[in-house]
Structures are given as structure tokens and as C-alpha cells.
Structure 1
Amino acid sequence: MELRHLKYFIAVAEELHFAQAAERLGISPPTLTVQIQEIERSLQARLFLRSKRSVALTTAGAAFLEEARQTLAQFEHAQHVGRRAGRGETGRIEIGYVGSATFSGVLQQQLRRFRLAWPEVVLNARELVMDELPGLIEEGRVDVAFVRLPMHLSASLQVQVLWRDSFCVALPAEHPLAGVDLLLQPVKARELAEAAFIVPEQVLGTHEVGRRGRFEPRIVAAPGALVAVLSQVSLGEGVAIVPDVLASAVAMPNVVFRPLAGKPVTSEVAALFRKREFAPAVMHFIRQLQNDGKADGVN
């Protein structure tokens, strides 16, 4: 028995007239009669009592009608759900991010906009170790990742830059370079030659400061996450080269931020995703990221 048989049966049960049901279905009355007979043979039960003047449901027919309607309704619901998922109106997107993406506001902005456009798509965002994110995307465990460049990536991944900022130096308040009279003066790289460094996941800034000052940074801790980095700076354990957005985004006791002298040491917050993506909802999210990158001129 096929779904078309259920449609034929329901039409006859509702019309209680073979000719009218056949017209509703767009088939001939003899063809409809044959189809109903096939259903009855399959069920080994009579579904209709027929005379020259009337058609009525049998007890078996009435019971079958209720189940047929439910089955057909479930099938139509499944089709509807499948079509919506195919259009990307529903689904789930796994998002991984590095903490600095939240301090810049890039991640919040992207999630907010996408939820407004596609409210029935579930976004599951988690902070993860940045170096692990490319592999998680390739494995299919993460769909889109927000990271801080540069980082080594395989050819299977695509990058969309969303935000550019510069690095500054975070100092314990008691550090000689953290005096109130010095706050607006940029710190020269060579002034940090004797410092102990606390490094975040993105070590670009730290190494660039060392290169400019012609010294090898003495790294005493690498907690990774920016809040953990600033916590250690606040405890007086060292200095840190961090994105300058933290100066206005984070108020950490005993931490002073100062700009770096010379050409800005820049970094980029970017989205990573698979070049070959087939999930419709994820494709919608990627298009949003790409369009925003173009609009902001950060391609």
C-alpha cells in the first residue's frame, strides 16, 4: 500500500460518493474503484458498504480513516519540516570561539543578527582552545569558528576577516612603566626587554614586540584565555601584549594598559569555515559573515 492509496481512501470516506471523490482526485471513477479494492484486499477487510444509492463506511473503514488521516498528516508534516530544513530555516550550527572575539563584540553582533533573520535555527556557541578549532571544523564537530589570526590553516578551510585591531601592553599597576604620568605615552619595545611575559593564545603580539626590541621575550606563563592572562598580570606576575580593545572592555583591578610605540602591531578577528559546506543553515550563516566582511572593507 502506498500513500496515494490513503489519499484515495480519505477522499471517498469524506465524500461518500465515488464519482465526486474521483473528480476531487482528478482520476476516473473506475480507476478509483480499482484503487479502493486494492486497499481492501491489502487489509483483508471491507471499508465501504456500497449500494446503487449510497456509500457508507464500515466499522473497519471508520477505524482505518482515523489512522489514515494521522499517517497522511504526519507525512505532510515531515515533508514540511524537510523542506524548511532544506531551505535553512531550521537546523543547528555549532560555533567555536576564542575569548577575544567576544571582547571585540564581533561574535555577539553576528549571533544577534543571525537569530533575528533565522529565529528557528539553534546556535550553540562555546569558547574552545583556539589551536584546536581548525581541526574541529575539519572533523565536523564545529561549523564556524571565530579566531584571532594569524594561524596555520589547511587548504580545506576558508577565512573571512571581520575585525582588525592593534595590540597594547597590559602592566601591573606597580610596574615602573605604569605610572599615571606615563599612561598616554607609548611604550617602546626595548623598554620591555627585562619583563616577564604572560602570553595569550595568540602570541603574535608578544613575539613582534620582542623582534622590535631585539630581545627574546621571557615567557613565564601561557594561560591562553585573555581573562586568565589579565588575572596573572593583576597579580604582578608579568606583563602581557593583548588586543587594545581590552583597555575599554575589561576593568581588571591592578592592571594598567598602555599603547605600544611605533607602527601598530595589528591582529585580526576572523571566522573560519569549511570551503565545501552543504548544510543550508550553516551556508546562510557563512553568507552573512562574507557579506559583513565585504561591507566593512576587511576582505
Structure 2
Amino acid sequence: MELRHLRYFVAVAEAGHITGAAERLGMQQPPLSQQIKALERELDVLLLRRKPRGVELTDAGHALLADARMILAQVDHAFATTRRTARGEQGKISVGFTSSVPFHPFVPRVIRAFRESFPLVALTLEESGTNTLIDNLRSERLDAVFIRTPVADPAGLVINPLLDEKMLVALPDGHPFAHEADTAVPLKALAAETFVVYRRPNGQGLYDAIIAGCHAAGFSPRVGQEAPRIVATLNLVAAGLGISLVPASLQRMRLDGVVFRRLKGSIQPIAPLRLATRRGEPSAAVRRFAEMVRQTAKKFSVESDVTAG
């Protein structure tokens, strides 16, 4: 028995007439009658009673009709699922990110846009340090990761530069530079400060950006504390244990005891945002996600430039 035999039978049963079913199926009446008879011979039952003005179902025919509809619906669903998956419209994707990434408005925007555009793709999120994220990407426990840090060995990966974000100085609210609103601070004016930094194994990119920026300003920062998470960094600043340089988007946190100030001058440390995926990624859903991230980043960059201008 082939699926087409079930489709032919359902069409005849619903039309109540072989000629009408043949027109619906786009075929001639004699071949359709032959297919129905072949199905009856295979099952060794009478499915339809021929009448002068059509056909009617036997009890066996009624029993087969219910199951045939269910079987065909399941097959159609399987075919549709397969096609949607091949187009990247259905499936699942696991996305990782470092702790500073969710504060950038671009990231929740693109994730929300992807979920709205592809509601049948199950999307899960995971936060971790850069090294762990890259390891999980290589081992296929994650499908795409937002990172700040350059990847030392990018073999087998595609690293997509997305956006460059300026860094701000985070100060305890009792700091002299925090007293005047909208005061921009030269980086070299922080040479005597104690710095709180995001621990390098977890946040190599931000750590290196801070160190490189201070060196460019003519001094080596005195590091007093290293925190395991970017939020913990700001908590230490709030406690008065030092200052820190953080991506500008973190000022959205509005943490009690912390004041953010812009940096003044030509030395502006940058916190880059990148998306890493596997090279030759077979999943259409992952490829669609990466493409949407890239396109949205271009639009976001243009919007930011217009706003800044």
C-alpha cells in the first residue's frame, strides 16, 4: 500500500463520487476507480458501495477513513516540519553570552526579533566565561556565542565582528570625579587610582582593553581587586574598593553607590562585541540566526551613528 492510495480513498469518500474526486485530484476517473479497487483487493474488504449516483462507505470504509485521515495528517505534519527545519524556520538553537553582553541593547533586540520571526525555533540562552563558551561551541553544546574577547585559535570557527562599544569609568558615588554631572574624565587622570577589574580568565577582552588603554595613557593601572563577574566588579566599586572601566551599556544597571562618567580625550578603550559560530554550520536555524545578527548589527550601527550625530 502506498500513501497515494490512502489519499485517493479519502478524496473519494469525501466527495461521495469517483468522478468528483477525480476532478479534485486532477486525474481521470478510470485510473482512480482502478486504484480504489486495488486497495480493496489488498485489504480484502469492500470499502465503497457503488450506487447509481455515486458511492457510499461501508462500515469497513468508515473505519479506514478515520485512520487514513489521521495517518495523512501525521505525514503532512512530518513533511511540513522537515521543510521548515530545512529552511531554518523550525528546530532549536542554543546561544551563549558573557556576563556583560546582555546589557547591550543590541543583544536583547536581536534575540527578541529572532523569536518573533521564527517562533517555531526553540531558543535557549546560557551565560558563561569566554573560554567555556568557545569550548562549548566547539563541542556543539552551544550553537552561537556572543563574546568580547578575541579567540586565540579561531580554527573551525567564524568570528563575526558586530559592534564596538566605548567604555566608561565607574566610580564610587563619593569619588571627586562623581560630584559634577556629565563630567568627562581624562584616562590619564586615573593613574593614581586603584582599579577593580573583571578577572582575566573570564573576561580577557575587557581586562586587556583596560590595561592597554591605561598603558596608552602613560601609566600601568594598580589592580586592587579582580571580580569573577562584571556585576561583582560594580559591587566592589560601590563598596569603595576602587574604580573600573566598563562597557558603556552597563550604565543601564543604575546600581546604587556607582556613578558612570565618560572618558575625555583621544584614548578611548573599546569593548568589542562579536558573534562566534562554527564554520560550515549544518543547521539552517543557526545560519538564519547568525545572518539576522549580522544584518541587525549593521542597522544598529547606522542608528547609533545617526543618534550620536
What TM-score, normalized by structure 1, do the two folds share?
0.81
User: Which letter maps to 1:197?
Assistant: V
- Structure 2: unaligned runs, 5 residues or longer: 305-309
Whole-angstrom distance in 2 between the partners of 1:31 and 1:274:
52
Q: Judge conservation of contact 1:150–1:267 (CA < 8 Å) in 2.
A: no
Structure 2 residue corresponding to 1:263, chosen from 261, 264, 267: 267
In structure 2, what is the Cα distance between the partners aligned to 1:132 and 1:95?
Answer: 13
3-state SS, counterpart of residue 154 of structure 2: coil
Deviations for 1:214-252, whole angstroms, at most 9, x for unmatched residues?
5474453231x2111101121233332322333x32322
Separation (CA, whole Å) in 2 of partners of 1:184 and 1:13? 80
In terms of mean alpha carbon deviation, does 71-80 or 45-54 score higher? Answer: 45-54
Distance (Å, rounded) in 2 between the aligned partners of 1:51 and 1:45: 17
Contact 2:166 2:248 in 1 (8 A): yes
Counterpart secondary structure, 2:210: helix
The more displaced of 265-274 and 166-175 is 166-175
SS in 1 for 2:288: helix
Of all paired residues, the percent bearing the same amino acid is 34
Aligned to 1:222: 227
User: What is residue 211 of structure 2 aligned with on the other side?
Assistant: 207
Counterpart code for 1:221: E
Give a deviation string over 1:90-140, Cα, whole Å, max 9, x none.
333322112322222120221233334334433323322222112222222
Which residue of the partner structure matches residue 138 of structure 1? 138
Residue 95 (str. 1) matches residue 86 (str. 2):
no
SS in 1 for 2:241: coil
- Post-superposition offset of 1:269: 1.1
Residue pair 1:150, 1:204 contacting (<8 A) in 2 also: no
Instruction: Give the superposition deviation at 1:253.
Output: 2.6
**Which position in structure 1 is the counterpart of 2:292?**
288
Tell me which residue corresponds to 1:241.
245
Whole-angstrom CA distance in 2 between matches of 1:14 and 1:174: 81
Q: 1:252 to 1:19 in 2, by over 3 A?
A: closer
The DSSP-based 3-state class of the residue aligned with 1:154 is: coil
Residues 46 and 232 of structure 1, relative CA distance in 2, 3 Å threshold: same
1:270–1:12 distance in 2 versus 1, CA, 3 Å:
same
The count of corresponding residues between Structure 1 and Structure 2 is: 294
Amino acid at match of 1:208: A
Q: Distance in 2 between matches of 1:281 and 1:257?
A: 39
Distance 1:52 1:245, change over 3 A: closer
**Separation (CA, whole Å) in 1 of partners of 2:105 and 2:55:** 69
Q: 1:252 aligns with which of 249, 252, 255?
A: 255
Alignment gaps of 5+ in structure 1: none
| Aligned 8 A contact 1:189 1:210 in 2 | no
For residue 262 of structure 1, report the CA deviation from its aligned partner.
5.1
Task: Tell whether the 8 Å contact from 2:171 to 2:258 is kept in structure 1 after alignment.
Answer: yes
- Deviation readout 1:246-292 (Å, 9 max, x if unpaired): 3x323223334443765212221122222212322222222222223
Relative distance call for 1:49 and 1:199 in structure 2 (3 A) is closer
1:69 is matched with 69
Letter in structure 2 aligned against 1:35? Q
Contact 1:172 1:178 in 2 (8 A): no
Corresponding position: 1:274 with 2:273:
no
Q: Shift of the alpha carbon at 1:53?
A: 7.6
* Contact 1:10-1:69 within 8 A present in 2 as well: yes
Moved segments of 4+, more than 6 Å: 51-54
User: How big is the shift at 1:70?
Assistant: 1.9
Q: Call closer, same or farther: CA 1:51–1:191 in 2, change over 3 Å.
A: closer
Q: Tell me, what secondary structure is at the counterpart of 1:141?
A: coil
Distance 2:275 2:256 in 1: 31
